């Protein structure tokens, strides 16, 4: 297989940084991006090409960045839409701005959803002209299974799942493939204050839920999932190596035992609901 070029968003830490390290280890070319070039210095020293890129920038700015990347580094084969962070909190509290100037949901969606939409729009014309390309969407188990106190973050990931399914149907005939990854709890910086914001107004009626969210936040550093192993598996999926050799790329794949169990339970519940209420559901035609 020829040396592939990957562009990864959100590489200052977490999965993004690990993707770059693994891609370089495989002998491929990695274009690492982040809002600040200073945060990419170690990846640059390791051999990555680096580009300042903020997914919340305008569509025109992102289009120009992608064109610049191809002009500087050559054709891009794979884009990993990884940039994102988690806003959590009770829905009723989500409009409490905590001395911030922007609504919690708007801020969350600007990065996690609209940033992904704009990045995907920017790369699609290039992939379409070449009739080739892979788009990796970093979703979450929370893009499939809800939980209390996480509506800003989880709903942004639910939207990513719907976006990806539509995109796949629109572009598969152009040999553009879309892979959705649904990580469970992995030992990254996802629960630190930099990438995880808790919007808690202190309402007494939600005290127990806020305590539960605080306990989840305290899990930082003890999560079961190994992020390095997960990234290796995702690269295998894209390249068709390791456990993915000889298999077609899946449309979506949960990562981690917790994610597999949670999504399986959700699917079983959905099937039971369809069976229990089929007569009512199907009795609505003319």
Query: For residue 14, what pLDDT is reported?
Result: 93
Query: For residue 216, what pLDDT is reported?
Result: 60
pLDDT at 211 over 80: no
Query: For residue 176, what pLDDT is reported?
Result: 99
Terminal CA-CA length for the chain:
55
pLDDT at 180 over 60: yes
Find the mean pLDDT for residues 61-68: 98
Find the mean pLDDT for residues 90-94: 82
Query: For residue 225, what pLDDT is reported?
Result: 82
**Where in the sequence numbering do the catalytic residues fall?**
153
Q: Which of 154-158, 173-177, 192-196, 267-271 has the lowest mean pLDDT?
A: 192-196
Q: Which residue has the higher pLDDT, 102 or 76?
A: 76
pLDDT at 194 over 50: no
Q: CA 70 from chain center: how many Å?
A: 23
Find the mean pLDDT for residues 176-180: 99
Residue 58 to residue 75: CA distance in whole angstroms? 22
Residues contacting residue 113 through CB under 8 Å, at least 6 positions apart: 156, 159, 160, 163
pLDDT digits (tens, 9 = 90+) for 28-40: 999 999 999 999 9
pTM of the predicted structure, to 2 decimals: 0.91
Closest-CA residue to 51 (of 108, 12, 22, 4) = 12
Query: For residue 74, what pLDDT is reported?
Result: 96
pLDDT digits (tens, 9 = 90+) for 238-255: 999 999 999 999 999 999
Structural domains in the chain, sorted by start: 5-282 (3.40.50.720)
pLDDT at 64 over 50: yes
Angle, CA 274 vertex, CA 269 and CA 276 arms, to 5°: 90
**Over pLDDT 70: what percentage of the chain?**
88
Closest-CA residue to 244 (of 260, 230, 233) = 233
pLDDT at 114 over 90: yes
Distance set, CA 223 to CA 2, 63, 128, 256 (Å): 36, 37, 39, 10
Query: For residue 153, what pLDDT is reported?
Result: 95
Residue 258 to residue 281: CA distance in whole angstroms? 32
Exposure of 26 by Cβ count < 10 A (0-12 exposed, 13-18 middle, 19+ buried)?
Answer: middle
For the chain, give the longest Cα–Cα distance.
66
Per residue, the 3-state secondary structure of 66-121, as one string, reads HHHHHHHHCCCCEEEECCCCEEEECHHHHHCCCCCCCCHHHHHHHHHHHHHHHHHH
Q: In the predicted model, what is the mean pLDDT of the chain?
A: 91
Query: For residue 207, what pLDDT is reported?
Result: 79
Backbone angles phi, psi at 251, to 5 degrees: -75, -45
Are the beta carbons of 31 and 71 closer than 8 angstroms? no
Backbone angles phi, psi at 192, to 5 degrees: -80, 165
Query: For residue 193, what pLDDT is reported?
Result: 45
């Amino acid at each position: 297989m020829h040396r592939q070029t990957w562009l990864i968003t959100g590489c200052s830490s977490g999965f993004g940084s690990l993707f770059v390290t693994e891609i370089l280890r495989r002998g491929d070319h990695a274009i690492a991006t982040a809002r600040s070039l200073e945060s990419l210095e170690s990846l640059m020293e390791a051999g990555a090409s680096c580009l300042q890129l903020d997914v919340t920038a305008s569509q025109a700015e992102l289009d120009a960045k992608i064109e610049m990347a191809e002009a500087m580094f050559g054709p891009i084969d794979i884009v990993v839409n990884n940039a994102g962070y988690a806003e959590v909190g009770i829905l009723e509290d989500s409009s409490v701005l905590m001395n911030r100037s922007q609504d919690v949901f708007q801020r969350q969606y600007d990065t996690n959803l609209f940033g992904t939409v704009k990045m995907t729009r920017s790369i699609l014309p290039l992939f379409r002209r070449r009739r080739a390309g892979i788009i990796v969407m970093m979703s979450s188990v929370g893009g499939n299974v809800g939980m209390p106190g996480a509506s800003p973050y989880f709903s942004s990931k639910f939207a990513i799942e719907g976006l990806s399914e539509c995109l796949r149907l629109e572009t598969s005939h152009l040999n553009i493939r879309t892979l959705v990854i649904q990580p469970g709890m992995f030992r990254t910086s996802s629960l630190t204050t930099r990438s995880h914001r808790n919007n808690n107004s202190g309402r007494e009626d939600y005290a127990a839920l806020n305590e539960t969210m605080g306990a989840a936040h305290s899990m930082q550093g003890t999560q079961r999932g190994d992020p390095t192993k997960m990234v290796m598996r995702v690269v295998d999926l894209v390249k068709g190596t390791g456990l993915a050799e000889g298999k077609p790329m899946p449309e979506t794949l949960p990562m981690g035992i917790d994610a597999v169990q949670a999504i399986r339970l959700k699917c079983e519940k959905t099937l039971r609901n369809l069976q229990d209420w089929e007569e009512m559901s199907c009795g609505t035609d003319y």
